[in-house]
Every structure is written in C-alpha cells, then in structure tokens.
Chains A and B, each alone.
Chain A
Amino acid sequence: MSGAEARGAVEAVWRMESARIVGALARYTGDFPLAEDLAQEALAEALVSWSVNGVPAEPAGWLLTTGRRRAIDTFRRRAARDEKYALLASDLAAEEPGADALFDPEAIDDDVLALMFISCHPVLAKEARIALTLRVVGGLGSDEIAKAFLVPVATIQARITRAKKTLAAAQVPFAVPEPHERAERLGSVLNVIYLIFTEGSFASGGAEWIRTDLAGEARRLARVLVQISPEPEVFGLIALMELTAARFPARLDASGRPVLLEDQDRRRWDQAAIRRGRAALARAAGSGRGLGAYGLQASIAECHAVAHSVAETDWQRIVILYEALGRLAPSPVIELNRAVAVAMASGPADGLELVEAIAARGELAGSHLLPAVRGEMLTRLGRRDDARSALLQAVALCGNAAERAVLQRKVDELS
C-alpha cells in the first residue's frame, strides 16, 4: 500500500472513529487532555504502520489498542517519579484482558456526549471551543480547521494546546454534567455547533468548498448529538440548520453573486432538507415546553420554505415569531428583522416607523443593515431621494464586496 493510500485510509477512519477513540481513552485514563494526545500518537503510528502492513481488519480497534498501550507506557514512565502513576500503571495493565469492553456500545454514547460537553466547556474561549470540537468530535485535522477559518495552522494548533492546558488546569472531569448543570452546558454545545454552521454558510472568500463542508459538518454533529441527547432545542437547531441549508443551492447566481430571498428560484431549494427540517421542528414543538431561540428561528425559516413566493409568505406569522424571539433573546438585529416583516405584512410605513425607533435609540449605528432596510422601505414609499441617500450610506458602511454590489445596484435603479 502506498503512503498516499494509507494516508487516505487513516484519514477516513479517523473522521469516523476519532470521537469514540478519544472518548474511550478518556474514560480509560480519566484524563481528557492526555487521551487526546494519546489518540494523536496512535494516529501518527497508524500513518507509518498502515502504509507498510495495510489497513488492519478492525482499524478502530487497532487505533484504540495502540492508544491504550501508549497510555500504559506513559504511566509507567511517570511511575518512576510518582506513586500515583505507579498505581495507575499496574491497574491499567491488570485490566488488559477486558479492555475490549471499552467499545461497549452502551458506554460509547456517554463518551461522545461527554466529549461534546468538554470541548464546548465554558472555561474555554469561543474560538477554542470551536477548534476543539471540530478536532475531537469532528475528527478534522488542524490543517483542515485552519483552512476553513482562514488562519494559519500554527494558530489552530496553539488554540488546541492552550485549550487542553486550560481544561487540565481547571480540572474538568471527563463526564457528562450533572442534570442541574446540563441544560446550561447543552446551550454552549448548541451554540458552538451553530457557530460552525454559520461560519460555513457565509463564505466570504478563500477555500469556499471547505466552508460549505463546515456547514455540513455542523449538521452531522447535531445529528450525532440528537441521537445521544434528544432534547427539544437540539431538534430546534437541526431544524434551523436544515431549513437554512435548503436555500444554499439558490443563494448564488451563476457568477457567484448573492441572490436575495425575493429573487431566489425556489425550485432549486433542497426539498429533502426542507422535509428533514420540518420533521425536526415538529419534534421540537411536540415537547409541549414551547420553542427556544433556535426553534423560533427555524419556524421563521419554515414560513419561507413552505411559501411559493415572497408575496404568498405568511408575514403576519413571521411578525409574531420575531416578537417571541425578541422577548427570548432581545437584539437590535431581531428588531430590524421584525421591522422588515411588519413592512411586508402591513405596509412599508409601519415598518419604517420601527426602523426609525431603532435608529433613534442609537442601536446598529455603524452597521450597513439599518440604512439598507431603511432605504428599501423608503423606496417602496416612493421617497426616492431619501431612499437614495440611505442606500448610499449603506454602501459606504458595507464591508462585504458582493453585498455592496447588490446595494449599489439598488442605488443605480433609483437614479
């Protein structure tokens, strides 16, 4: 087997199995940062061994056994200077015959869930949570993560190293959190997955293909999570991501320019993704506890998904959903979106009133979104000069070239 072939095989197995291997090793050693190092060492060993001997019959078992052997070596080495490690080393060695039980399917779910909670732990900075989740749960290499986030590989490696040190210093145990902590920590896991998704869904340049990949990876991680923790808000997040991703095929034109919702060819929307999203949303809503922030955003996305055109969209319902969302997670952006929905439901004058209120509070100053929406409403009201100056302001503030071109087109249409 050639080196390249072996590399391909190792990478594929790693993507499929890394979470289970790191999880099993963390349970085995009781030390998550160490487990991650051991797994990486096993991975490096596989690259050498598999190119010589071919891929073993049970690749995951091979990686796990190698990682376990390294664990025992590590503890033996440390045992020379520490009695605690001496005990661990003899314990682990004694356990050896039953070590296959590490792949007990009952324990795997808990292992992977614990991994998600640890890599999204609140002691870590946001960027560190994202990098660690993609590396440990997603099985992405540092180079892939770096490419996706358009930063140097060394930056990602430093983030991961620092994250592991932080976890070790904070003595974070390898365990699924206690029930009272769990809801709060689950919020962090969902947030990290959604951040990965949004990073992947707004490609602003660079290696675009891998960023679309990132949006796909986020959806896969959420599908893993919902199998092991079927909470309503996990279904809400899945619904939001599926319904958002359903529009991906229609959101760029042939030359790669963004296409606004009203101009999108809805026949190109991914109907299978819409179906999956709506099914997940029904599950989220079926809990009887009301929808959370993700579920509400998914409901808004559903209103668009089921409508045949902008005109036929149930804007009244979208207004109500934005109101609920604004109460749950107040933000000027949500307010602005609500204003847009109000303009669609009951006319641009009502919408403009809300936009002026946001502006009067000094919120969103410096963002191109507010003048863009304002310009749109003024255009619809026939106030061409006011509309033009608002849109020009938006053009000046907008940092994204593609979006700026769309705004500039609107200015030109008014001239």
Chain B
Amino acid sequence: MAKYMLIMRETEESLAKFTDVDFDEAMNAMGKFNDELIHAGVLLAAEGLEDPKEGVVVDFTGETPVVTDGPYGETKELFGGFYILDVASKQEAIEWAKRAPLTAGRKTEIRRVPTIDEFPQDNEWIQKERAWREQTGQL
C-alpha cells in the first residue's frame, strides 16, 4: 500500500464552466464518489480548497518574502506538497508561511479549507460524510 494524493487541478476555463453546472448534482456525484472511497477503505483524508482568487502567494524570489493576492503561477505548474495548519486567521497563516525555511525562488500558496459546515446540511451525502468524519476524528 502506498499513499497517493489526488490533486484536483483547475484552470480558469474549468472554473468558469463550473458556474453552469447544477450545484446539487455536482455535490451528489462527488459525495457518492467519496462514499465509495470510504467503503473501499482507501480514504485517509480529503479536503477541497477554496477558490484560488481567495488565496495568497508568498514569493521568495527577492531578498524578502513578497505577499501577493490571488492564485499561483500557471495551471501547468506542479505542487510539491501541502501543509494543513489550524490557525485563527489568514494573516496568521501568512506569518507561518513567511517563517518556513524555503530556498529562494519557491512560493507558498495559502488557501482556506472550507469546513463541512459550509455545505448544505440537508444533503444526504454530506450527512454520511459527517458521520464518517465523526467516526475518524476529523471534525
């Protein structure tokens, strides 16, 4: 067994198209998929990220880290990994990111992870997922 991360990449076009999609339908399809992963015993953790426009980039290109709003780079660029921090505010997250011992040229993108409370609570798949999160101590 090995751990893999499935990184869901978005492009400007795919995000724009999402506004045409029926939200409930998309929720149910994804919920069903997640439920299958849970039943197969293969899901350890899963999080979706908020809109990249809400994100922040800390840029180490210059002498001091430069903070900019918005998404990082081209959609073809690769992720090297991610941290999940439990902090009180975006600013606090930015401060932690600035302290990371990163070499010049690297960037850290900061994105909020929405909680399950932000999704429609009357959706049956959300209720199932909530039960699973309670079971596995992820709430």
**In the complex, what residues of A have CB within 8 A of residue B137's CB?**
275-276, 278-280, 282
**In the complex, what residues of A have CB within 8 A of residue B45's CB?**
272
Is A79 located at the chain interface by the 8 A CB criterion?
Answer: no
Given A213-B1, A217-B1, A282-B137, answer yes or no on A227-B44 (Cβ-Cβ < 8 Å). no
A283 touching B135 by the CB < 8 A rule?
yes
A221 touching B41 by the CB < 8 A rule?
yes
Q: How far is the CA of A276 from the CA of B136 in the complex (A)?
A: 6
Which of B1, B39, B44, B136 is the one whose CB lies under 8 Å from A224?
B39
A235 closest partner in B (C-beta):
B135
The smallest C-beta distance from B45 to any residue of chain A, in angstroms, reads 7
Which of A227, A230, A275 is the one whose CB lies under 8 Å from B39?
A227
Is A16 located at the chain interface by the 8 A CB criterion?
Answer: yes
Q: Mark B121-139, 1 if CB is under 8 A from A, else 0.
A: 0000000000000011110
The dominant DSSP class at the A interface is helix
Which range contains the number of A residues in contact with the other chain?
20 to 34
Is B38 located at the chain interface by the 8 A CB criterion?
Answer: yes
A279 touching B41 by the CB < 8 A rule?
no
**In the complex, what residues of A have CB within 8 A of residue B1's CB?**
212-213, 216-217, 219-220
B138 closest partner in A (C-beta):
A279
B41 touching A223 by the CB < 8 A rule?
yes
A223 closest partner in B (C-beta):
B41
Q: Which of A212, A219, A221, A279 has the most CB of B within 10 A?
A: A279
Q: Which of B2, B42, B135 has the most CB of A within 10 A?
A: B135
Which of B41, B136, B138 is the one whose CB lies under 8 Å from A220?
B41
The smallest C-beta distance from B86 to any residue of chain A, in angstroms, reads 12
274-321 of chain A: CB within 8 A of chain B: 275-276, 278-280, 282-283
- Count of chain A to chain B residue pairs whose CB atoms are closer than 8 Å in the complex: 42
B135 touching A224 by the CB < 8 A rule?
no
B38 closest partner in A (C-beta):
A227
**In the complex, what residues of B have CB within 8 A of residue A280's CB?**
136-137
Q: Mark B51-75, 1 if CB is under 8 A from A, else 0.
A: 0000000000000000000000000
A279 touching B42 by the CB < 8 A rule?
no
Q: How far is the CA of A361 from the CA of B38 in the complex (A)?
A: 49
A227 closest partner in B (C-beta):
B39
B136 touching A279 by the CB < 8 A rule?
yes
B42 closest partner in A (C-beta):
A220
Q: Which of A16, A219, A221, A223 has the most CB of B within 10 A?
A: A223
Q: How far is the CA of A230 from the CA of B39 in the complex (A)?
A: 12
B40 touching A16 by the CB < 8 A rule?
yes
Q: How far is the CA of A115 from the CA of B13 in the complex (A)?
A: 46
Q: Mark A103-146, 1 if CB is under 8 A from B, else 0.
A: 00000110000000000000000000000000000000000000
Given A213-B1, A216-B1, A217-B1, answer yes or no on A227-B136 (Cβ-Cβ < 8 Å). no
Q: How far is the CA of A27 from the CA of B14 in the complex (A)?
A: 43
B132 closest partner in A (C-beta):
A227
The smallest C-beta distance from A380 to any residue of chain B, in angstroms, reads 38
**In the complex, what residues of B have CB within 8 A of residue A283's CB?**
135
Q: Mark B10-41, 1 if CB is under 8 A from A, else 0.
A: 00000000000000000000000000001111
Q: How far is the CA of A219 from the CA of B43 in the complex (A)?
A: 12
Q: How far is the CA of A33 from the CA of B111 in the complex (A)?
A: 52
**In the complex, what residues of B have CB within 8 A of residue A230's CB?**
135
A109-B39, A275-B137, A276-B137 known; 15 new pairs, CB 8 Å cut-off, are A212-B1, A213-B1, A217-B1, A219-B1, A220-B40, A220-B42, A222-B41, A224-B39, A224-B40, A226-B135, A227-B38, A228-B39, A272-B44, A272-B45, A279-B138
List 10 A-B residue pairs with CB atoms under 8 Å apart, sorted by A's residue number.
A212-B1, A219-B41, A220-B41, A221-B41, A223-B41, A223-B42, A227-B41, A272-B45, A279-B138, A283-B135
Q: Which residues of B contact A (CB under 8 A)?
A: 1-2, 38-42, 44-45, 135-138
